[in-house]
Structure 1
């Protein structure tokens, strides 16, 4: 962008007359060129001129325009900024630079909040973001004296401003304690990666139960979670080292090796038996483990992993609601009422799945398969979708964890429903699969904008399955 004299004055927050005086005394930046007989400047040239002539003016200038430091900037230690995080601090000729690392212990702090907290203390505030740019982690920054200007310097530019390498902690080993204790002369630490979920409840429960399948299943879950955290930290470290120039960084910490573990180390039948046993317990520690399982992988091994909000006044839902019975609260209700807001805790006696009346809705856990041997009779298109079997019993339609089912357009929901129908026509106890490879005739049927409450009979479903898509 070309700046005339007035534009330069606006950029520098001074009067036009002051800029003209600098030009007349030959104290101002050399113009980039002439246009219509008048000089013009680039923003980059003007800002570089400002910082070279007045280092203290750096607080109004993005650090990408600051001159490289001739020697390493003195490190001032770390400072904890309320609701932002731990900031590393360096003193440069332009002022103090604060560097914050994105990590899971933060309270979702923002640059704007940091600018407010550090008014008058920082010349530049920089945040290391979770993604990557061409030469290292992506950075976002703000000028404390010009808070409207959020900008994005490069990792290399920050290293040049600080006059040396910057410490780096890969995701998973970025804790407030480690960042606070770092010193430039410190050797890299080898530390266990921090899982994204709190595994302590599972460990406490594992040592509280008798040796056996429950303990083995819980320990296996913790080992897998820890291995996933370690793998994620190693991957982040690898990505960083592939992009950043070696002279621009110091590895402050790296993840400790952990034992490899896999879900299949424990048979599926044993995993499911573990959770059936645990869900019947009423202690709070087991409830915490249920929440842990749901946060980790959606509760894949729980007997009813999906939770839906049901309007009990809808026609099909009313029929299902009528068979629910009161039930004392156990760990299984952590799935449907983790905040303990329910006016009533209920049980579906045909599936043993929990339900909770919260306000005007019923929160229902949906089993991963139908507990019946009666063949499919019809599909009822309500919210949620229902399955009726040949003996007249109605069930919430099962679904694959992470994939909803629906109708009305050719999307993932209609695909998932078409595939589920195909499976249920052949095996009523099927476990839903990810939505891929649905028969075209059924997909054409589920993609139609049917009115809510439409009933699709087994004959209609079978005909759609047997009919080419273009004929539906």
Structure 2
């Protein structure tokens, strides 16, 4: 559905209420660009008040109400003197092609609800097409320098939601042959390539729309992607990627923290050695208590590692959180102060167990899945983020656990279950589906698998 149709159908339920963009006349003069909070704001002055065209500098989209809140914090009671209407540029939500970005408007003295607008409406008020910056091209300097009639700036494509500066800064300091450097350079170049390719495709679709007399004919591009000077980068091997992330997640410096934040937005850290986070209550069962007794204090005279910082950042506000260390799995553990329901320990599972000792038993206790190997070591069952494991019910978690047990019986260092893995043996699934807190020996698991 086109933006104009949405505007008429969804946002003008009060026919007597005329929107600001509908009553303003072409009398606009461009004033300036300013940056408020996380938004780039281009201001025009009209006979009916100021008009703001806003682009988010951290995401492709922005909620008009949050934009207005930021403007109100900045301008205070003077907001209505500065802006009568705030128009927020969005990425397209249209299902049909070709692609045209959306606009949402908000009248500062209006009914308090955003409404869809068209680029034709905005151009009618401004007396000329308004500029649009694709989210991969929202460069602060280029936006600040824009003036009506200016040709599009050439901006190296980048994803504002996943900035790559930390990647290149970290790589620049690494020695030759470093897996960290190879990983970071690849990711930085891949982000640029994807941004260039997608933006080029969108621009071509937008131009097709304009050539057909669509709403895209009523906007101009604030920037176009600078040419790519390299061929598509070769993806490092899994061994290099995992070695790189293992080194990064053990570091304590701010660049490593920023690179890790990039990874979590990029792919959820799928190549890290850690997987999902899990909550363990040491007073819930003897198995959890056994595991908790091996934990040791972490260093308190140093900045947190990447993995420690993630746990701390996700801690509960108001708790006196303490970082501990699991010397067997080499993972951090966040200790929450005691609550009414007992002490809580938050840690990471591993994506694969670093041992050659075969699986001796599967321990299911207090909704936590444990693996005990023949050398007596206790491990949290391997698990990827987003691929939860469980037991005692008929669902994906139980299917995932059954598949995991199947592969660990043959190879204790096999990776946690991922998309595309074969289905679990029916016998193992049925055993775990009907399970409550219990321990299954290797012999019992093998017997169930063969059924």
TM over 0.5: yes
Q: Are 2:184 and 1:218 equivalent residues in the alignment?
A: yes
| Equivalent residue runs for 1:265-280 within 5 Å | 266-278=236-248
| Equivalent residue runs for 1:57-96 within 5 Å | 61-63=18-20, 65-66=22-23, 73-80=27-34, 82-83=36-37, 85-92=39-46, 94-96=48-50
Q: Are 2:292 and 1:336 equivalent residues in the alignment?
A: no
Deviation at 1:188, TM superposition (A): 0.8
Contact 2:120/2:218, CA 8 A, preserved across alignment: yes
Structure 1 pair 279–440 and aligned structure 2 pair: CA distance change class (3 A): closer
Deviation at 1:253, TM superposition (A): 0.5
Q: Are 2:381 and 1:397 equivalent residues in the alignment?
A: yes
- Cα separation, 1, equivalents of 2:193 and 2:306: 26
Q: 1:125 aligns with which of 65, 86, 93?
A: 86
Structure 1 pair 185–65 and aligned structure 2 pair: CA distance change class (3 A): closer
Deviation at 1:271, TM superposition (A): 3.2
Q: Are 2:393 and 1:439 equivalent residues in the alignment?
A: no
- Cα separation, 2, equivalents of 1:132 and 1:343: 42
Higher relative contact order (CA 8 A, sep 6+): 2
Deviation at 1:415, TM superposition (A): 3.2
- Cα separation, 2, equivalents of 1:75 and 1:446: 70
Q: Are 2:286 and 1:320 equivalent residues in the alignment?
A: no
Between the two proteins, the alignment pairs up a number of residues equal to 407
Partner SS for 1:146: coil
| Equivalent residue runs for 1:71-470 within 5 Å | 73-80=27-34, 82-83=36-37, 85-92=39-46, 94-104=48-58, 110-113=66-69, 116=72, 117=75, 118-133=79-94, 136-195=100-159, 196-214=161-179, 215-238=181-204, 240-241=206-207, 243=209, 245=214, 246-258=216-228, 259-262=230-233, 264=235, 266-278=236-248, 281-315=251-285, 316-328=287-299, 333-338=305-310, 339=312, 344-359=322-337, 360-376=343-359, 377-435=361-419, 437-439=422-424, 441=426, 442-448=428-434, 450-451=435-436, 453-467=437-451
Contact 1:286/1:331, CA 8 A, preserved across alignment: no
Deviation at 1:371, TM superposition (A): 2.0
Unaligned runs of 5+ in 2: 1-11, 338-342
Structure 1 pair 237–397 and aligned structure 2 pair: CA distance change class (3 A): farther
Counterpart of 1:7? none
- Cα separation, 1, equivalents of 2:284 and 2:233: 43
Deviation at 1:104, TM superposition (A): 0.6
Per-residue deviation, residues 11-52 of structure 1 (Å, max 9, x unmatched): xxxxxxxxxxxxxxxxxxxxxxxxxxxxxxxx89965xxxxx
Counterpart of 2:3? none
Deviation at 1:431, TM superposition (A): 0.7
Contact 1:141/1:152, CA 8 A, preserved across alignment: yes
Contact 1:125/1:142, CA 8 A, preserved across alignment: yes
Contact 1:333/1:345, CA 8 A, preserved across alignment: no
Q: State the superposition RMSD in angstroms.
A: 3.7
Structure 1 pair 351–193 and aligned structure 2 pair: CA distance change class (3 A): same
- Cα separation, 1, equivalents of 2:206 and 2:395: 37
Partner SS for 2:352: coil
- Cα separation, 1, equivalents of 2:193 and 2:115: 36
Per-residue deviation, residues 194-227 of structure 1 (Å, max 9, x unmatched): 3333433333333333222243333233323333
Deviation at 1:399, TM superposition (A): 1.5
Structure 1 pair 111–279 and aligned structure 2 pair: CA distance change class (3 A): closer
Contact 1:115/1:147, CA 8 A, preserved across alignment: no
Per-residue deviation, residues 314-359 of structure 1 (Å, max 9, x unmatched): 3222222222334547788321334488865444333333334344
Q: Which has the larger radius of gyration?
A: 1
TM-score by length of 1: 0.72
- Cα separation, 2, equivalents of 1:393 and 1:322: 13
Contact 2:308/2:323, CA 8 A, preserved across alignment: no
Partner SS for 1:149: coil
Higher mean C-alpha deviation, range 253-262 or range 361-370 = 253-262
Partner SS for 2:105: strand
Higher mean C-alpha deviation, range 157-166 or range 237-246 = 237-246
Deviation at 1:100, TM superposition (A): 1.3
TM-score by length of 2: 0.75
